[in-house]
Amino acid sequence: MPDVSVLEVRLYDEPIGTLTHLQGDRTIFAFNEDYVENSDRPTLSLSFKDDLGGLITNIRTTQRVVPPFFSNLLPEGSLRRYLAERAGVNQQREFFLLWVLGLDLPGALSIHPAAGNALPPGADEDLPENAKPNALRFSLAGVQLKFSAFENAGKGGGLTIPAEGVGGSWIVKLPSQQFTGVPENEFSMMTIAKMIGMDVPVINLIDLDAIAGIPEGVGELNGQALAVGRFDRSADGPVHTEDFAQVFGVFPDDKYNRASYANIARVIGIEAGDVGAAEFIRRLVFSALIGNGDMHLKNWSLIYPDRRTAALSPAYDLVSTIPYIEGEDTAALNFSRTKKMAAFDADELRHMAAKALLPEKLVIDTAAETVQRFRQVWEAEKTHLPLALSVAEAIDRHAPTVPLYKELA
């Protein structure tokens, strides 16, 4: 049996490098010479950018897992287990999981077997004979069950999740079996965010019976699903994105502990300027006010509209988590010195601005505007949203405990 397997990495469908699986379950990524020498090359990731703006080409070999940038393209937790079982792949063998899921990854990246569509050489009993590329089309990174779907043509409308092939321009997020009303919660928080002035994708709540192709084995589902327009897809083709675990070159397991919001803000300030920094502050303050304790590194992303220059992507995964974790008001990351939302005050904001090298006035003025608009919009709209009363009440109790709520009112 051959000891080497190769996957071709394409960006905007152009080959830019290879992932090679070596003896001993090791993986190495290498850029193609043409990509390295192209002065106008599209950006793959800021993690491959050195201090002088050049391309880092000396990339560390990884054991068992693939390098962090690629590992973060894969789903996590129960979603990974479900997908791996359905596709006949050992979930721990990320190289082969990328082979199965590589044609519909986030952004403009795709991964193809170098020898065509055949099973990569070197696969063992973990990959049965009936395993095939793109066994299921919801390879989007994350934990929640979510599918890449097509919009149906005709009067009936609705969405279809393809069983095979490349997915569509919508993400369908199914109801949680652990927590009630998560899609309704996210729809409501995203709606409020948009009304406050944040950049959010198109969103809709959709009945489960309007979704064709939900795979068997996902369990009993209750409530509605959330349909989100994919901002990494456009009429002109895919648009490249990367999350901040990829930016910082950390594995998904470290998404809660390897950086702070100040670190994220500094990158956004450098790469996306004051416009991106202000949008980041809006989302951060809003997340604190609604009690969103899950804004980890993978819930912040950059997008490359011109293929080279980074901007902050539209918002996603804005959910009030406090109704589900009683008494927990801790953010996913440190703001600057603390994770406690009850300690997120103007002084902490100023400290974060200084650490991130952002203009203090920009940060404080943006935060104040966000607080004021949130107070107005929330009071006017909370009874008109598809929120459970318990969720609205939890936010009502929580928001005043965040010092900014009163300090900047």
Q: Look up tokens 């199965």; give the residue.
A: 100
Q: Among 104, 232, 243, 294, which one carries the catalytic annotation?
A: 294
Cβ atoms < 10 Å from Cβ of 54: 10
Give 250: exposed, middle or buried? Use CB within 10 Å, 0-12, 13-18, 19+: buried
For 148, phi then psi, to 5°, come to: -90, 125
Question: Helix or strand or coil: residue 268?
Answer: helix
Q: Quick check: is 294 catalytic?
A: yes
CA distances in angstroms from 261 to 190, 268, 349, listed in the order given:
20, 10, 10
For 255, phi then psi, to 5°, come to: -70, -15
Q: In this structure, are residues 318 and 287 in contact, taking their beta carbons and an 8 Å threshold? A: yes
172 strand-pairing partners: 147, 227
5 strand-pairing partners: 21
Residue type, 96: F
Strands 301-304, 224-229: pairing kind:
unpaired
Residue numbers annotated as active site? 294
